[in-house]
Chain A
């Protein structure tokens, strides 16, 4: 579904990604694991066209997106949930939820979303940023479920959240996957990612250095922990 090859990205003069190469297949949940600053978030931003300069190849459903503008990439059916969650302070919860335009048929209905996230209905009229951190994270994910985007890029959805909330987010992502969405997840929380993902890519210094299928994870946990610095 998504094939990344030789992806390089720069912020001004600093060269952050050095030839990333990985793929995500339809229906999979794939994580990018790595230390702080390894280039995981930049990879998602580069896929969305949100870095100043990028080269290489980003193929989504066969179409090359390396030269496309962010809106074209969004319209192609990739939903993005940024690391800072990107909840708009000037918009209510409901406006935040309804903001991203529908890009393809087959998105979740508002009724389904409210069933999955009852808090978002109760707080529909509150300003988006008045929600708790966990609720904001759910809103940030919920709003890209509506649009018909089938590939979701989630950047550290558990960052800064209490363990019980992290668990809820985990259930949510499992449910999203069960409904047929494909998920590319950036995570620092290795234990969280381990329960959800089919495959893991280990990222170091802007490159993919290893791929670990879920069933090999247990056997390789120790060396992984070392490399991730946990």
Chain B
């Protein structure tokens, strides 16, 4: 058997793939968090719960309505985004003028409520959802077997991240968002309805979490705690990448997934803490994060 750095190649590549897949979710979720934090100055603790809702909506569309994976890929993010819009209009917008902790506590509470409601309805072990036929099976890459759905998730995550980065950094809509992040009062005086921009940005950010939930549904068990498991790591990713940096969130998300994958191979006991160890080191050297501008 081929050995690389003292480990069997299939083991190494397998864990690397797992790392990249985890990194895909870290990147997609931290991207939404970074966008929301940049414009709303709200640390959205409900992001993981909305990711979970996205996965449940995907399952529910099939289970109750017979609507399959591909339509769900559009419908679930739209529904989660609309739900987010409702949360922003009825609750979150009242925290903008308060200390940042209020938004954090409110969204933390929302996360617990959502998780509780879904646990009550579906139990904590959750439900299962299988990948569409088109994406089932495995590919033999020569050095390893790649489950098609996993390859699809990684490709989709990269496309989503690049598309979001492009919209924010290279389009006039993105320029409007960046300007509103910097000086919302002046942008509003130019004639832009900034409160509406903020509400739609929150909706778009949580729709992104919903979309990640769709991608996750066939991969993980769809259960009420799936968001919480992920979101702690995602917050570490955001802190390491630098709050509010879009490119930083993407690169850090994938990078940390890969680091975690390798740790799983060489020292499995450390795999769940390695992200936080990296966070501690980065914060000691660069308090604003790897890509963040010093506050």
Chain A residues proximal to chain B, CB less than 8 Å: 48-50, 69-71, 73-75, 80, 82, 86, 88-91, 95, 98-101, 103, 144, 147
Q: How far is the CB of B257 from chain A (nearest CB, A)?
A: 28
Q: Is the interface of A mostly helix, strand, loop or mixed?
A: loop
B194 at the interface (CB under 8 A from A): yes
Would you call B191 and A82 a contact (CB within 8 A)?
Answer: no
Would you call A91 and B190 a contact (CB within 8 A)?
Answer: no
Among A73, A86, A90, the one with the most B-chain Cβ atoms within 10 Å of its Cβ is A90
Would you call B178 and A74 a contact (CB within 8 A)?
Answer: no
**A82 and B188 alpha carbons, distance in the complex (Å):** 13
**Stretch among B16-24, B179-187, B258-266 lining the A interface:** B179-187
Would you call A147 and B172 a contact (CB within 8 A)?
Answer: no
Residues in A with CB closer than 8 Å to B179 are 88, 90-91, 95, 99
**A100 and B175 alpha carbons, distance in the complex (Å):** 11
Using a Cβ cutoff of 8 Å, how many contacts connect chains A and B? Answer: 61
In the complex with contacts A88-B182, A89-B182, A99-B176 CB distance below 8 A: yes
B192 at the interface (CB under 8 A from A): yes
Residues in B with CB closer than 8 Å to A90 are 178-179, 181-182
Within 8 A of A (CB), among B90-127: none
**A98 and B176 alpha carbons, distance in the complex (Å):** 10
B232 at the interface (CB under 8 A from A): no
Would you call B178 and A91 a contact (CB within 8 A)?
Answer: yes
Would you call A49 and B189 a contact (CB within 8 A)?
Answer: yes
Would you call A71 and B188 a contact (CB within 8 A)?
Answer: yes
Q: Please classify how large the interface on chain B is, using the bins under 10, 10 to 19, 20 to 34, 35 or more.
A: 10 to 19
Residues in B with CB closer than 8 Å to A86 are 183, 186
Would you call B188 and A69 a contact (CB within 8 A)?
Answer: yes
Residues in A with CB closer than 8 Å to B194 are 71
In the complex with contacts A71-B193, A88-B178, A90-B178, A95-B172 CB distance below 8 A: yes
Among B185, B188, B190, the one with the most A-chain Cβ atoms within 10 Å of its Cβ is B190
In the complex with contacts A88-B178, A90-B179, A101-B185 CB distance below 8 A: no
**A99 and B191 alpha carbons, distance in the complex (Å):** 10
Would you call B182 and A147 a contact (CB within 8 A)?
Answer: no
Would you call A75 and B191 a contact (CB within 8 A)?
Answer: yes
Q: How far is the CB of A98 from chain B (nearest CB, A)?
A: 6
Within 8 A of A (CB), among B163-180: 172, 175-176, 178-179
Known: A82-B186, A98-B175, A99-B187. 13 other contacts (CB 8 A): A48-B189, A49-B189, A50-B189, A71-B188, A71-B191, A71-B192, A71-B193, A74-B189, A74-B191, A74-B192, A90-B178, A98-B172, A103-B191
Q: How far is the CB of A35 from chain B (nearest CB, A)?
A: 25
**A184 and B192 alpha carbons, distance in the complex (Å):** 22
Q: Can you report 24 residue pairs joining A to B where beta carbons are below 8 Å apart?
A: A50-B189, A70-B185, A71-B190, A71-B194, A73-B189, A74-B191, A74-B192, A75-B191, A80-B186, A82-B186, A88-B178, A88-B179, A89-B182, A90-B182, A91-B179, A95-B178, A98-B172, A99-B176, A99-B190, A100-B191, A101-B191, A103-B191, A144-B190, A147-B191
- Nearest CB to that of B188 among chain A residues? A70
**A32 and B186 alpha carbons, distance in the complex (Å):** 21
- Nearest CB to that of A89 among chain B residues? B182
Interchain residue pairs A-B with the least CB separation, the first 8: A74-B191, A100-B190, A95-B175, A75-B191, A70-B188, A90-B178, A70-B189, A86-B186
**A95 and B169 alpha carbons, distance in the complex (Å):** 11
Determine which of B172, B183, B192, B193 lies in contact with A88 in the assembled complex, contact meaning CB atoms within 8 Å: B183
**A103 and B193 alpha carbons, distance in the complex (Å):** 13
Q: How far is the CB of A13 from chain B (nearest CB, A)?
A: 17
Within 8 A of A (CB), among B118-149: none
Q: How far is the CB of A105 from chain B (nearest CB, A)?
A: 14
- Nearest CB to that of A77 among chain B residues? B191
Would you call B182 and A71 a contact (CB within 8 A)?
Answer: no
Would you call B190 and A147 a contact (CB within 8 A)?
Answer: yes
**A69 and B150 alpha carbons, distance in the complex (Å):** 49
- Nearest CB to that of A95 among chain B residues? B175
**A75 and B187 alpha carbons, distance in the complex (Å):** 12
- Nearest CB to that of B172 among chain A residues? A98
**A98 and B185 alpha carbons, distance in the complex (Å):** 17
**A50 and B183 alpha carbons, distance in the complex (Å):** 12
